[in-house]
Amino acid sequence: MIDLHAHSTRSDGRLTPTELVDRAAEAGVTTLALTDHDTVDGLTEARRAVDAQGIAFINGVEISVTWQGRTLHMVGLAFDAQDSRPTDGLATLQQARLSRAARIATKVEKLGVANALARVQAIAGNGQITRPHFARLLIEDGICRDNAQAFKRHLRPGRDAHVSIEWAPLEAAIGWIADAGGISVLAHPHGYRLTGAWRRRMVTAFADAGGDAIEICTGATDAQQEAVSTAHAREYDLLASVGSDFHAP
132 near ligand AMP, judged by CB under 6 A: yes
Among 5, 7, 10, 11, CA closest to 131: 11
By CB under 6 A, name the one of 1, 56, 114, 148 that touches ligand AMP: 148
CB atoms within 10 A of CB 80: 15
By CB under 5 A, name the one of 16, 43, 73, 211 that touches Mn ion: 73
| Binding site partner of 16, from Mn ion, ligand AMP, none, Cβ cut-off 5-8 A by kind | none
Length of the chain: 249
By CB under 6 A, name the one of 37, 119, 154, 232 that touches ligand AMP: 37
Is residue 161 within 8 A of residue 135, CB to CB? The reply is no
| Binding site partner of 161, from ligand AMP, Mn ion, none, Cβ cut-off 5-8 A by kind | none
Is residue 32 within 8 A of residue 5, CB to CB? The reply is no
Is residue 151 within 8 A of residue 131, CB to CB? The reply is yes
Is residue 201 within 8 A of residue 229, CB to CB? The reply is no
Distance separating the N- and C-terminal Cα atoms of the chain: 18
Residue window 170-209: x/- pattern of binding to Mn ion, with contact defined by CB under 5 A: -----------------x----------------------
Q: State how far the Cα of 77 lies from the Cα of 64, in Å rounded to an integer.
A: 14
Per CB under 6 A, the segment of 75-83, 129-137, 174-182, 228-236 that binds ligand AMP is: 129-137
130 near ligand AMP, judged by CB under 6 A: yes
Residue nearest to Mn ion (CB): 73
By CB under 6 A, name the one of 66, 121, 147, 230 that touches ligand AMP: 147
Q: Cα Rg for the chain, rounded, in angstroms? A: 18
Contact residues: Mn ion, CB under 5 A: 12, 62, 73, 187, 245
Footprint of ligand AMP on this chain (CB under 6 A)?
A: 12, 37, 64, 130-132, 147-148, 151, 156, 247
